[in-house]
Structure 1
Amino acid sequence: MSVATREREAALEALVDGGIDPGVMVVGTGVTNLPGTVHLTRHAMELGCRACMVLPPFYFKDPDPEGLFRYFAGLVERIGDDRLRIMLYHIPQVAGVGFPVDLAARLHTEFPEVVVAIKDSSGDWANTGSLFCIEGLTVYPGAELPLLEALDLGGPGCITATANVNAGPVAEVIRLHGSGDRQAAEAAMVDVRAYRMVMQEYPVIPTMKRLLALRLDDPTWATVRPPFLPADEAAGIRLEERLAAL
């Protein structure tokens, strides 16, 4: 939420203009109000993006689930396009508002071809497991720690911030599990889990940006906006050495 609306649009347009296939992009378009969410969602669709990941309106806390349902029903109605695909974004510890399991089920039942997935970043495996009981809804945990459990339940993978700096090993766990070699997937998961546990000791966004700045030899990657503070370069180097030793 540190990026203005026009900046978000410009960044997405630059990716598409740069040759990235919009058909593989899932774009975050949820803001605090319905008109703004409609605007960003429509922009992503006009560029041909595969889906939009949408937060609940999060300024007013403890909303009635019926109000949240009407918000998303309004989004679907205002977009009015059969191509629309929505992934619900459940991260209540950050947004202050989430999707109760019953609401996620209702939205998927009412709009089965539109509300097709949910990212559960709550860190509550009991909640994630309950979401897997919603028939036809694709569920992604929002971190790699429960990746094997999610794969066992038929999930396609996870959507995790640390994939920005450790995507290959996470993808390898998914590949091994998909090949039927769960023992090898479990072995690969040991390093993935260790990497994540180290990263969780640090402010995730500034730290990942510092690591990318080091790896790409481009200091602009370390730039953050307040209230974030930039991660120290020397600390980033020490962290990189620690990660390499895993």
Structure 2
Amino acid sequence: MSTFRGIWVALATPFRAGEVDFAALHTLVARLLEDGVAGFVVCGTTGEAAALSHEEQLAVLDAVLQWVPSQQVIMGLAGNNLRELLAFQQEIQRRPLAGLLVPAPYYIRPSQAGLESFFQTVADAASVPVVLYDIPYRTGVRIERDTLRRIVRHPRIAAIKDCGGDLETTLALIADGQVEVLTGEDLQIFNNLCQGGAGAISASAHVRADLYVRMQRQVESGDLAGARATFFRLLPWIQAAFAEPNPAAVKAALALQGLIVDELREPMQPCAPATVERLRGVLAALAD
């Protein structure tokens, strides 16, 4: 069984004047570690990896590995050119890591057999555990339940980031016990924990990560009423965090807290002024 339990943060990549802001990244990582998060996913969707070059992605990874124990760092690995993806995988795997977060190849929409072959190829080439990222609304292809259950039998696939939107599939994966099931839908974190899931890879946990960690620990100790209260305290923020395409609202909230500059890579855009005002009110309430 894998060790991908708890609240993992899908780490944003701070920018300043078009470049990665490593000082802000360090500040952000240090604060989240103090809040007790299980670890970080570097260069995933929230990290705007699609807008970063491979060189920039490796620089971000190397920086985080200077500050965080390697067993707490998962690296995103995405692409639809299998040769290039495997070459980049080998480059990444020269570093010590907890694992790789791998979605289905986007845009080309392979068949179920193609998906199974893709994940087997990546897992066969893996020297670290693989976290399968099931997110059909970004990749354009759904991994059917039976396909997914076959794929995760691979000994190198240790966990799944579940954004598939199918409760029956989620429950089947938890019941099978082949992999740790981490939700990637932040509104489902409380449900995931109560159903026996492993936790979350969360974008919204950038803010008040201590409360997310508390909720997880409350469920583990059997304090479901306390965990429910913690979740409902977080709920207005979780809803606001995805009011605009991720990570726009997360970055705006972090900027309001003075942790980063509110800057994204094109074609991503900063939040509208009305959303920023909403975030200001939500953050003030959450601080009480």
TM-score for both structures, normalised by structure 2: 0.75
Aligned mate of 1:191, from 210, 233, 236:
233
Q: Which structure's CA Rg is the greater one?
A: 1
Answering whether residue 263 of structure 2 is matched by residue 216 of structure 1, we say no
**Counterparts in 2 of 1:43 and 1:22: CA distance versus 1, 3 Å:** farther
Q: What residue number does 1:26 align with?
A: 74
Conservation of the 8 A alpha-carbon contact between 2:251 and 2:260? no
Conservation of the 8 A alpha-carbon contact between 1:144 and 1:170? no
Answering whether residue 192 of structure 2 is matched by residue 145 of structure 1, we say no
Identify which range, 4-13 or 197-206, moves more after superposition: 197-206
Q: What residue number does 1:231 align with?
A: 271
Shift of 1:27: 1.1
Answering whether residue 287 of structure 2 is matched by residue 242 of structure 1, we say no
| Aligned equivalents of 1:185, 1:217: Cα separation in 2 | 28
Number of corresponding residues: 237
Answering whether residue 98 of structure 2 is matched by residue 54 of structure 1, we say no
| Aligned equivalents of 1:89, 1:169: Cα separation in 2 | 25
**Counterparts in 2 of 1:150 and 1:88: CA distance versus 1, 3 Å:** same
Q: What residue number does 1:104 align with?
A: 148
Shift of 1:108: 2.2
Identify which range, 45-54 or 66-75, moves more after superposition: 66-75
Deviation track 1:73-110 (CA, whole Å, cap 9, x = no partner) reads 2223344x3xx21111011111112322212211222x
Instruction: Give the CA RMSD over aligned residues.
Output: 2.1
Larger proportion of helix: 1
| Aligned equivalents of 2:186, 2:259: Cα separation in 1 | 27
Conservation of the 8 A alpha-carbon contact between 1:90 and 1:120? yes
**Counterparts in 2 of 1:244 and 1:60: CA distance versus 1, 3 Å:** same
**Counterparts in 2 of 1:181 and 1:215: CA distance versus 1, 3 Å:** same
**Counterparts in 2 of 1:236 and 1:101: CA distance versus 1, 3 Å:** same
Answering whether residue 128 of structure 2 is matched by residue 88 of structure 1, we say no
Identify which range, 201-210 or 156-165, moves more after superposition: 201-210
Code of the residue aligned with 1:101 in structure 2: it is R
Q: What residue number does 1:200 align with?
A: 242
Deviation track 1:114-147 (CA, whole Å, cap 9, x = no partner) reads 0111111133333322322333211111123222
| Aligned equivalents of 1:197, 1:5: Cα separation in 2 | 32
Identity rate of aligned residues, in percent? 27
Identify which range, 88-97 or 123-132, moves more after superposition: 123-132
Shift of 1:238: 4.8
Aligned mate of 1:12, from 61, 66, 70:
61
| Aligned equivalents of 1:196, 1:217: Cα separation in 2 | 19
* SS of corresponding position for 2:252: helix
**Counterparts in 2 of 1:213 and 1:195: CA distance versus 1, 3 Å:** closer
Q: Which has the higher contact order (CA 8 A, sep 6+)?
A: 2
Code of the residue aligned with 1:60 in structure 2: it is I
| Aligned equivalents of 2:179, 2:200: Cα separation in 1 | 14
Identify which range, 234-243 or 5-14, moves more after superposition: 234-243
Aligned mate of 2:171, from 112, 129, 133:
129
| Aligned equivalents of 2:179, 2:240: Cα separation in 1 | 32
Identify which range, 128-137 or 51-60, moves more after superposition: 128-137
| Aligned equivalents of 1:55, 1:245: Cα separation in 2 | 35
| Aligned equivalents of 2:193, 2:160: Cα separation in 1 | 15
